[in-house]
Structure 1
Amino acid sequence: MSTESEIRGIVSRYTRAADRRDGEALAKLFEADAVVEVHHRGPDGDELLGTLSGGAQIAAAMSTAMAPHPPLGWSHHTTYDHLVSVDGDEASIETQFITFDVVGTPKPEGGWPLGTFGAQGTIKPIESGYYRFAFRRTDGVWRVRHLGVIHDIPYVF
């Protein structure tokens, strides 16, 4: 597997852990002293909203700071336009993201009405922006050492 594929794979595992609100799985992707900075891209440049330091704090934020999913609810993070750079044991990726809020319609007690067809529920975009990951390879394993999350719209952290 190429280094670029490994780096993209870590981003994919990050988004899946975020969707599951699985702080433990997410923390395994980070170095023990990694830093996450959350920003809002405003008219005067990026505004730092908050910082998470270390795997334990990053895991706790993912597991508890994000609202739990409602019944039949889920979030779905997508990333695209990956720009990967590799220099020896250092690497980075900048990628755009959109997060969707997915909520299914409960099946009626008597079953779906005659003629009902297809997906039942709503899907709406709730956030977008950029992820800027910096990685380091130690003992052959790539881990996130820094993550900048830059939101396009105001974000409360």
Structure 2
Amino acid sequence: MSTEDEIREIVSRYTRAADWRDGDTLSKLFETDAAVEIHYRGPDGMELLGTLSGGAQIATAMSTAMAPHPPLGWSHHTTYDHLVSVDGDEAGIDTQFITFDVSATSKPEGGWPAGTFGARGTIKPIESGYYRFAFRRTDGVWRVRHLDVIHDIPYVF
């Protein structure tokens, strides 16, 4: 696998861990002293909303700071337009994201009415912005050393 593909795969593992609210899996992607900075890119420029420091705090925030999914609910963090840069044992990726809130409709007790077809539920975008990851390769393993999460809409942290 190329280095660029390895970097994109880590981002994919990050988004899945976020969807699953799985701080333990997510923390393994980060260096122990990594930092995550959450920003809002508003009309007055970039506003720092908060910082998470270290793998343990990042894992705890992922598992507890985001609201749990409701019954029949889920989230999907999607990324696209990946811009990857590699310089020896340092790498980065700048990627756009959209997070979708997914709510399934419960199957009626008597089954779906005749003529019902297709997906049942709602999907709505709830967040968008940019992830800017910085990576370091140590002993052949890439890990996140810093992540900037830049929201396009106000975000309470």
Superposition TM-score tier, normalisation by shorter sequence = over 0.9
Q: Distance in 2 between matches of 1:8 and 1:72?
A: 29
Q: Distance in 2 between matches of 1:146 and 1:46?
A: 17
Kindly state the Cα deviation for residue 106 of structure 1 after the two structures are TM-superposed.
0.4
User: TM-score if structure 1 supplies the norm length?
Assistant: 0.99
Q: Distance in 2 between matches of 1:67 and 1:44?
A: 28
Q: Which amino acid aligns with 2:14?
A: Y
Kindly state the Cα deviation for residue 43 of structure 1 after the two structures are TM-superposed.
1.0
- The runs of 4+ residues in structure 1 deviating greater than 2 Å are none
Number of residue pairs matched by the alignment: 157
Kindly state the Cα deviation for residue 51 of structure 1 after the two structures are TM-superposed.
0.2
**Does structure 1 residue 59 correspond to structure 2 residue 40?**
no
Kindly state the Cα deviation for residue 45 of structure 1 after the two structures are TM-superposed.
1.2
Q: Which amino acid aligns with 1:146?
A: H
Q: Distance in 1 between matches of 2:15 and 2:38?
A: 15
The aligned residue for residue 154 of structure 1 is 154
Aligned residue for 1:112, secondary structure, equals coil
Q: Distance in 2 between matches of 1:11 and 1:43?
A: 28
Gaps of 5+ in 2: none
The aligned residue for residue 81 of structure 1 is 81
After the TM superposition, which residues 43-54 of structure 1 pair with which residues of structure 2 at under 5 Å, given as runs? 43-54=43-54
Q: Distance in 1 between matches of 2:46 and 2:83?
A: 20
Q: Distance in 2 between matches of 1:66 and 1:43?
A: 25
Q: Distance in 1 between matches of 2:70 and 2:7?
A: 31
Kindly state the Cα deviation for residue 44 of structure 1 after the two structures are TM-superposed.
1.6
Q: Distance in 2 between matches of 1:113 and 1:69?
A: 27
Q: Which amino acid aligns with 1:148?
A: D
**Does structure 1 residue 124 correspond to structure 2 residue 131?**
no
Q: Distance in 2 between matches of 1:57 and 1:130?
A: 21
**Does structure 1 residue 145 correspond to structure 2 residue 145?**
yes
Q: Which amino acid aligns with 2:4?
A: E
Gaps of 5+ in 1: none
Deviations 1:61-85 (A, max 9, x none): 0000000001110000100000000
Kindly state the Cα deviation for residue 134 of structure 1 after the two structures are TM-superposed.
0.1
Aligned residue for 1:106, secondary structure, equals coil
**Does structure 1 residue 22 correspond to structure 2 residue 22?**
yes
The aligned residue for residue 106 of structure 1 is 106
Aligned residue for 2:155, secondary structure, equals coil
User: TM-score if structure 2 supplies the norm length?
Assistant: 0.99
Identity %: 87
